[in-house]
Amino acid sequence: MGYNVAIDGPAGAGKSTIAKRVAKEKGFIYVDTGAMYRGMAIYFLEQKISPDEKEEIAKACQNAEVSIAYEDGEQQIYLNGKNVTALLRKEEVGKMASISSAIPEVRQKLLSLQRNLAKEKDVVMDGRDIGTNILPDADVKVYLTASSRTRANRRYLELREKNVDCNLDEIEREIIARDERDMNREIAPLKQAEDAILIDSSDLSIEEVTEKILELCK
């Protein structure tokens, strides 16, 4: 059995940054669920299925096996045994992943792939429903959050660094709206698992949050 760490929380709470750090410190695999959806999307594109052919996508996902490995500390995504990491960031792959991830059969297929990975290996997974749905028996569960203002501010600084013109109040409004959608959606809504430890990162540095989670893993 693998040792499993589940980190859930709203958009902009710093989940993936923290999850990657914890995985690196512990020598665990960071399960990038987004990258797995992209791996799946590559399969649909290879099969010449278009994003609006929902039934075809639902059928095809049964024949795709997506897995994660690390080589020289870098995450690699394999699709049916072939390394497809170099293709993940393509525009059409992102578009297909966004559409196909809403299809129940695709979510179900990835759910079983993610659970198998967690059975065999020590993993850190982050998302919206890891502790409640994907890994309900995780050894450590964390619900990582921060005030909407803090999360908006982090996003604002990220965008300013890329010289993107943006408005802090507008970003905060978008974040609040996204929380609302995530918490009220039918499939796998965002919520804190009953046995998850709440960490509010509003006034904590990345190092401090990482340290807190590493403490929980002892």
Annotated binding site for ATP: 9-17
As a whole number of angstroms, the distance between CA 50 and CA 14 comes to: 33
Region of poorest pLDDT, from 106-115, 184-193, 201-210: 184-193
Binning pLDDT at 50, 70 and 90, where does residue 11 land?
confident
Query: What residue segments make up the domains of the chain, in order of their start?
Result: 1-28+122-218, 34-120
Mean pLDDT across the chain, nearest whole number? 93
**Rounded to an integer, what distance in angstroms lies between the CA atom of residue 106 and that of residue 58?**
6
pLDDT computed for residue 86 by the predictor: 95
- What percentage of the chain carries pLDDT values higher than 90? 76
CATH code of the domain occupying 34-120: 3.40.50.300
Give Cβ neighbours of residue 93 (< 8 Å, ≥ 6 apart).
Answer: 38, 41, 42, 45, 87
The predicted model gives 150-160 an average pLDDT of: 93
pTM: 0.82
Q: What Rg do the C-alpha atoms of the chain give, in angstroms?
A: 17
What percent of the chain has pLDDT above 70?
100
**173 to each of 64, 95, 111, 131, 148, how far by Cα in Å?**
38, 24, 31, 27, 9
- pLDDT for res 113: 92
Q: Is 117 helix (H, G, I), strand (E, B) or coil?
A: helix
Residues in the annotated binding site = 9-17
Q: Which tens digits make up the pLDDT trace of 99-112?
A: 898 899 999 999 99
Looking at per-residue confidence, does 94 or 64 come out higher? 64
Q: What is the SS3 string spanning 55-109?
A: HHHHHHHHHCCEEEEEECCEEEEEECCEECHHHCCCHHHHHHHHHHCCCHHHHHH
**CATH topology of 1-28+122-218 equal to that of 34-120?**
yes
What token pair was written down for 121?
């290996």
Q: What is the CATH number of domain 1-28+122-218?
A: 3.40.50.300
What pLDDT was estimated at residue 73?
80
